[in-house]
Structure 1
């Protein structure tokens, strides 16, 4: 089973050109796809409904979208009808197998007016894969403030590790005709964490030994400045973390540095049965 994480930067590539087809081409071979910076109603990309466009372009995948950031962008009455014009910004999960349950988690944030601070989130889906039940999270942490990321990492760890005691999206579902879901604790946390391996946030993520960095086999960069920028900079910001039991089943870690559909690179892993 192949899984990939990709921050798609609203669909704008290294050449600053909006082209969602490049995103689709980069991830279409994956069984599970975690995307970040997916938008609806974003002025700079023509207001494209990216969740709908990506779902249409990958019709063999089931999908869900969580707009952690959801802002009014000029809603008004038009000919006596309320017209909602919203900017939505969040994470997406697509899977070849049905999404059993889905939840969107809002991550901690602070009041910051001098630099952009959109609400960030973690989108959770339980998926029955051929290898068993897997809980998958598509994640995007703050890009500016390490203190805010520390709070977000603490929240993420609680969401993932405390799942067995919180009941998930539903429990006692037989009244709905839904069988109880036996989640044994295997999870993937995939996304743009906006921290580097030497950071305090990274160390906090691994503190306690309950969560493993599944992508250490390729420790190279996952983000770079666009082609037009005179001085090229590169950083490692994107990861897949997992519970310790799942770590032994992960292989073939790679970063697709040929992709040019975003300033981030797709991060791939394989999970065996």
Structure 2
């Protein structure tokens, strides 16, 4: 299974030009992916730099025939012109694997008067591989507020423990046609995205700390590249937005039980199709 995680910045490249179709073509060039996890996808946010199209979730679906496109909106705001169209900003998963459950988790948003912020979400999809099922979660944590990032990390860990509890104590479905489906979820999971937390930071260390009642998370890149620090994932080419220099803040984490299935995890340092660099994961 091949997965690409990428903060695509609504298709805006390092030079400021928006072309989401080009970004998706670049993702396909990087890997024949089964799952594409994207952050910073928009609907109705045409006023953003570069002028993204009116509905990027629909644009992704049109550009990737044969893929199921899932969306999770964090910021959901009224239009600027009084029309019914909302301004929405969030994450997306495109996958050609069968999808069982889809869960949208609103992440904590504790008050922090010192920092601008927005509602953040985690999009979870239970996908079926040839051998088993996995939970794939894509998220994008708060940029400005450490207080909020730490709360969001804690919630992602709690949600993983909840899923492990569901796996250990599944409830039957009411029937095959209603919404009360069986609650069983796989323990094995991939959590990826823009954590807005540097490698080795407090939020990073908190996320990979041991967990009670569930397999903990490991960093796929560092597991496959022991004794090495990952290369930067943001601000490599876009120095206008990242004036303090490049940072490593995008990660792919997998549960400990998937360690033996890690085949490769690479950060592409060449593409300039976003202000972030994509990560390509391959599992046996």
- Structure 1 range deviating more: 121-130 or 109-118: 109-118
Per the alignment, residue 264 of structure 1 pairs with 276
Alignment of 1:85-100 (within 5 A): 85-100=85-100
Deviation of 1:182 (Å): 4.8
Secondary structure of residue in 1 paired with 2:175: helix
Paired position in structure 2 for 1:40: 43
Inter-CA distance 155–243: structure 2 relative to 1 (3 Å threshold): same
SS in 1 for 2:221: coil
- Looking at structure 1, the residues matched to 112 and 8 of structure 2 have their Cα atoms a distance apart, in angstroms, of 24
Give the TM-score taking structure 1 as reference length: 0.88
In 2, the alpha carbon distance for the partners of 1:37 and 1:27 equals 15
CA contact under 8 A between 1:186 and 1:246: conserved in structure 2?
yes
Alignment match of 1:234 (pick from 246, 251, 271):
246
Structure 1 CA distance, aligned partners of 2:27 and 2:183?
29
Compute the RMSD of aligned alpha carbons: 2.3
Q: How many residues of Structure 1 are paired with residues of Structure 2 in the alignment?
A: 264
Structure 1 distance, partners of 2:140, 2:188, is: 20
1:115 shift after superposition: 4.3
Partner of 1:194: 196
Unaligned runs of 5+ in 1: 77-82
1:115-149 CA-to-partner distances (Å, cap 9, x unmatched) read 43111110000011113101000110011122211
Relative to 1, partners in 2 of residues 1:50 and 1:206: Cα closer, same or farther, differing over 3 Å?
same
Alignment partner of 1:224 is 2:227: no
Q: Distance in 1 between matches of 2:198 and 2:107?
A: 19
After superposition, where does 1:130-141 map in structure 2 within 5 Å? 130-141=130-141
Contact 2:43 2:87 in 1 (8 A): yes
Contact kept, 8 Å, 2:197 with 2:203, in 1: the verdict is yes
* Aligned position for 1:243: 255
State the Cα deviation string for residues 177-212 of structure 1 (Å, max 9, x = none). 487475341100010011112211111111116111
- How much does 1:237 deviate? 0.6
8 Å Cα contact 2:10/2:52 also seen in 1: no
Q: Which residue of 2 aligns with 1:206?
A: 208
SS in 2 for 1:160: helix
Structure 2 residue runs of 5 or longer lacking an equivalent are none
The CA distance in 2 between the partners of 1:136 and 1:91, in whole Å, is: 12
